[in-house]
Structure 1
Amino acid sequence: MGVWAVLIACIIVIAAPRARAASANDNARILAGLPVASDSPLAPLTSQAGWKAHSHGFDAAFKRVEDRQLSKIRAWSKDNVPASPVLFYMFSGPDFLYANSFFPDASTYVLAGLEPVGQIPDLETLPRSGVDGALRALHTSTQSALNLSFFITKDMKRQLRASRVGGALPVLYVFLARAGKTIESAELVGLDDAGELHSGEEAKGRVAGVKIVFSNPDGARKTLYFFSADVSDASFAKHGLQAFLDKQGAGSALLKSASYLLHSGNFSQVREFLLTRSVSIVEDDSGIPVASFGPDWRLDAYGRYSGPIAIFSKNYQARLARLHQTQGHRPLPFGIGYRWRQSDSNLLLAIKKRSENSETNAQKKAATP
């Protein structure tokens, strides 16, 4: 009888369902201060005082940025910016928040910045102190983006380096989750010189990146790429990023708080790529200089151009000032960029003229699942 009892117990143990592992979406929601399903291995974290404080803090911060900027950006973009299937966002850091707000209909987002990618967040492997530290670091590292609309790269790198969950990935997770997206998969990748993606061991030693597949609440599947990459002329065409971007076809570009690097001769290749492959560009004055746009572009100025902030004063654009003066005042209902106050912000919407059909085709492609 004792033998049978042991056998039955073994069968019960073998047949018992194994607890599921925490998904990428579970990790993203915990980092974002959002609840997870009750059967998630991470669900117990939501009862901890530290996580509750983190959640309340992010609730308030994201409500402020939604009311002050993001809702207004989406409305402005819907009225003015052509839909596009692909978004090129150079000098972005992990800023999916504004990429999604300006271009909600894109199906592919390609972001690039100097921030390290980091590892795939796995909160199950961290002690309680590690989770608490990661949540505190996320609050600090996202503060400038939520309050000023841009990252202070060196500060973010320092803050996340001190955390057990570092790099751009946890910030991307937070912004995706807070935008209402569901992360289906996240994979570390590397780019070879031909612009081909590699994963696993083959990704090592290449341009580091991450590929995130996510879905909208309506079920539409989309892809986000972030690459930790130097886009100066010394690197842009040599290490695979330009080749990868070329494979994406025509798209649109977003440029903001870009340190006026595209005013420099050291970034001529990425500037030329964006001018050649984009059907529309949304930028503040730190992006591509107005003088670089040819006659095949229609330029519409919004907001108020007061010139660069003091540390970038040499990048004043007389042509941009004349464009604002000639076109009169088109209101900009939100603040953006280094001059982040609404009354002092500017945006340029550049739309390529030579093919109005390009806009129509882009809209059709963006609407295709």
Structure 2
Amino acid sequence: MLRTFKIAAVAAAFFLAAAFAAVHAADVTPDDTARFLAGMMPSADSPLVALTKDPAWQRHAKFFDSAFGQLDQRQMSKVRAWSDANLAAPKPTMFYMFSGPDFLYADAFYPKATTYVLSALEPPGLVPDLTKVPRGGVDAALANVEHSLGSILSFSFFITKKMKVDLHEGQINGAMPLLYVFLARSGKTIKNVSTVALDDKGTAYFASDNPGTNATRGLRIVFAGSDGVDRTLYYFSTDLSDSGVRSSGFLKFCATLAPGSSLIKSASYLLHSGSFSTVRDFILANSATIIQDDSGIPLGYYSPKKWRLLPFGRYAGPISEFPNKYQQSYAELFRRAQPMDFGIGYRWHSYESNLLLSVRLPDDGSVAAETTSSTEPVAQLVPKPRPRKPRPPPSPAPPPPEPAHKFLWFQ
């Protein structure tokens, strides 16, 4: 009897182990979920493979194959080439304030970073196990993702009001599904995803540790690229105004990762305002390089003793929805700008886009190593005013796709 019991116990143990292994093998991983949302086939043993037979997903996959293929040819490949030509050794940390869930451009401009910190007001959001979501809910989520990404695929920036409508309702919401799509379409493999929170001192916790009701909420995504190196993406939902950052631990957390490299684009000229001076000062104090369009930090805040300014493209001034943001000093600087073959920011056509690469100078005054550009020093880039022949005014730019108030990240 004892022998029979032992045999039965051993058999039961093997059965339970096999059952656990089968359940574990059938788990829906974050990487497979990201690939599914991005219109890419998940791994062969993923339960999501069955959902790819749905005509709605197949149409979604064709749409994204075409959209991202065109985007890479028209835009992203040129951004990567520009970065490779002009950034020699960027810092391991990359800060992207006012980013929304835009990992796409963060990765294209700073592909060598190992830690990415993105921040905006869009909530972190949620992507549940898609095999447990009703079919209509999955189809609606795919349509919402397409709609939310429409502006950045076409114009290089998010229209925040559109994202609010698309991704604030339903089981699949917030920044997470869009981050998933960009990671998958950028060739990344997601290895781990967790919700995190920051207390008022900037200490990071897993969300389950409950750091407090006023904590800054976010996501931590560990991923790897084609080189196999593990990298970390943080996305935090936070108010970047002076009152917002002073009452949160977000900038204190960022300071633990500084110095870094920064990206600012389509930022609604918020850093021109006195209400965003704290985050502006942080970027200037904690960045070795800053890539921005003219909606970023006004030129007057860059000390020529601390920064080397390298302009690219053409400064055509702000679009009409942002009056009183024209910078004469920017216009002077861009008279001797290097050419740029891609569009960026609100003036998204390549022939009217501007990009400023600012490189911090070492204390001894020599040029920092973060740039490979041979552009002349800033003192030579801003010539003294001299008589010029009158020029005809530039042709009016095509109107932006949405009214200006829809661009504002905080709405």
How does the TM-score come out when normalised to structure 2?
A: 0.83
Q: Are the aligned partners of 2:218 and 2:234 in contact in 1 as well (CA < 8 Å)? A: yes
Letter in 1 for 2:41: P
User: 2:62 matched to which residue of 1?
Assistant: 56
The CA deviation at 1:342 is 0.4
**In 1, Cα distance between the equivalents of 2:121 and 2:210?**
21
**1:95 match:** 102
8 Å CA contact 1:187–1:210 kept in 2: the answer is yes
- RMSD over equivalenced CA pairs, Å: 2.1
Greater Cα offset, 49-58 or 195-204: 195-204
* 1:116 alignment partner, SS class: coil
Task: Tell me if 1:65 matches 2:71.
Answer: yes
Quote how far apart the aligned CAs of 1:329 are. Answer: 3.8
Q: Could you say if the C-alpha distance between residues 270 and 244 of structure 1 is closer, same or farther in structure 2, counting changes exceeding 3 Å?
A: same
Partners of 1:319 and 1:166 in 2: how far apart? 42
Q: Of the candidates 129, 136, 151, which is equivalent to residue 122 of structure 1?
A: 129
Matches within 5 A, 1:170-209: 170-199=177-206, 200-203=208-211, 205=213, 206-209=215-218
1:246 counterpart (239, 255, 263): 255
Instruction: List aligned pairs for 1:185-334, cutoff 5 A.
Output: 185-199=192-206, 200-203=208-211, 205=213, 206-295=215-304, 296-325=306-335, 328-334=336-342
Q: Shift in Å at residue 84 of structure 1?
A: 2.0
The answer on whether the counterparts of 1:119 and 1:166 sit within 8 Å (CA) in structure 2 is yes
Contact kept, 8 Å, 2:126 with 2:171, in 1: the verdict is: no
Q: Give the drift of 1:358.
A: 9.4
Counterpart among 7, 13, 22 of residue 18 in structure 1:
22
Structure 1's 117 and 357: CA in aligned 2 closer, same or farther, altered over 3 A? Answer: farther
Letter in 2 for 1:106: A
Aligned partners of 2:230, 2:38: CA distance in 1, in Å?
21
Q: Distance in 2 between matches of 1:65 and 1:289?
A: 29
Conserved 8 A contact 1:137-1:163: no
Matched residue type, 2:315: Y
Q: Counterparts of 2:255 and 2:91 in 1: how far apart (Å)?
A: 15
Asked if 1:349 corresponds to 2:353, the answer is no
Query: Alpha-carbon deviations, 1:187-236, whole Å to 9, x = none?
Result: 11111011011121515621110000001122100000000000111021
2:97 partner amino acid: M
Shift of 1:359: 5.0
Counterpart CA distance in 2 for 1:71 and 1:258 is 23
Query: Are 1:121 and 1:169, in contact at CA under 8 Å, matched by a contact in 2?
Result: no
CA–CA distance in 2 between the matches of 1:345 and 1:105? Answer: 25
> 2:392 maps to what in 1?
none
Output the TM-score relative to the length of structure 1.
0.92
Residue 340 of structure 2 contacts residue 350 of structure 2 at CA under 8 Å; is this kept in 1?
Answer: yes
**CA shift for structure 1 position 237:** 3.0
CA deviations on 1:340-359 (whole Å, 9 max, x unpaired) are 00001000010011258995
The one of 86, 90, 94 aligned to 2:93: 86
Structure 2 runs not aligned, ≥5 long: 373-411
Is the counterpart of residue 134 in structure 1 residue 141 in structure 2? yes
Deviations 1:103-125 (A, max 9, x none): 00000000000111112443132
Q: State the Cα deviation string for residues 65-119 of structure 1 (Å, max 9, x = none).
A: 1001100000001111242211110000000000000000000000000111112
Per-residue deviation, 1:272: 0.5
Residue 164 (structure 2) aligned to one of 157, 173, 182: 157
- Find the counterpart in structure 2 of residue 113 from structure 1: 120
Deviations 1:231-272 (A, max 9, x none): 111021321011001000201100000000000000001000
Q: Which amino acid aligns with 2:29?
A: S
Find the aligned partners of 1:202 and 1:84 in 2 and give their Cα distance.
32
Q: Percent identity?
A: 46
Deviation >3 Å, runs of 4+: 10-17, 355-363
| Count of aligned positions | 356
> Which 5+ residue runs of structure 1 have no aligned equivalent?
364-369
